[in-house]
Amino acid sequence: MKASYLSPAVGQYILAHSTQPDDLLDELAAETQQVAGSNAGMLISPDQGRFLTMITQLVRPELAVEVGTFTGYSSLCIARGLSGGRLRCFDVSEEWTSIARKYWEKAGVAARITLTLGPATESLRAMEDRIALAFIDADKTNYPAYYELVMERLRPGGVVLVDNTLWDGYVADPSYEDDMTRTIREFNDLVMNDPRVTSVMLPIGDGLTMIRKN
């Protein structure tokens, strides 16, 4: 269970009462566990996956963007929600994303996805297209840069989702003063004080902030 800031019983109840992942998502999670070991903890949670698909279905983006693809769980959830649009994925790892490619093929969504390898700040800077939906889930120190680069390209009414914004709940505990907790707190403050957007922090997975450009 990723929502470690909730009591285990509540966290399990939420997972049990959200639509369950299908066999392909379970297979992808199991392969990630086998290949990536403790790094498999980087995957979004199953309820976040369902949420990504639903938001994609609601926004109906012409172009969605994912920053941080790993082995493909979240990108598969976004791609499955598309109705005619495209998904551009950014990551630095050939190794992890080769697994993602395999599952995009298995799910029949590979033709809708373009993957660019390299630092995502550079890849985003090179983009000229208008973004309607973005999911940010890569290296946390670059969150402010990813956010700004996405915002510059996001259409009004467009939506940005950002993962790990509750950081195991440490953000709300003043006794945690380590660099990563501070980085996430600063990012949360940045979004909160951005007059361009309306935002809400959702306590699913490790915390998911949903941001709408006004």
Ligand X SMILES: C[S@@+](CC[C@H](N)C(=O)[O-])C[C@H]1O[C@@H](n2cnc3c(N)ncnc32)[C@H](O)[C@@H]1O
> Which residues are at the interface with ligand X (CB under 6 A)?
42-44, 68-70, 72-74, 90-93, 96, 119-120, 137-139, 142
Calculate ∠ Cα 181-184-186, nearest 5°.
110
Length of the chain: 214
1 token code pair: 């269970």
The least CB distance from residue 142 to ligand X, in Å, is 6
C-alpha dihedral (150, 209, 11, 28), degrees to nearest 10: -10
Min separation Cβ 34 and ligand X, Å = 15
In whole angstroms, the minimum distance from the beta carbon of 104 to ligand X comes to 12
- From the list 101, 100, 97, the residue with the least C-alpha distance to 120 is 97
CB of 193 to ligand X, least distance (A): 25
Rounded to a whole number of angstroms, the minimum distance from the CB of residue 164 to ligand X is: 8
What tokens appear for 97 in the block? Answer: 């994303």
Q: What span, in angstroms and rounded, lies between the C-alpha atoms of 138 and 136?
A: 6
Please identify, using beta-carbon distances, which residue of 72 and 174 lies nearer to ligand X.
72
What CA–CA distance (Å, rounded) separates 72 from 97? 7
Contact in structure between 52 and 74 (CB atoms under 8 Å): yes
Rounded to whole angstroms, the Cα distance separating 40 from 25 reads 13
Q: By C-beta, is 4 or 93 nearer to ligand X? A: 93
Q: Minimum distance from CB of 158 to ligand X (Å)? A: 19
Give the pairing of strands 154-163 and 113-117: unpaired
Q: Which two tokens stand for residue 62?
A: 């012409």
Nearer to ligand X, 2 or 213 (CB): 2
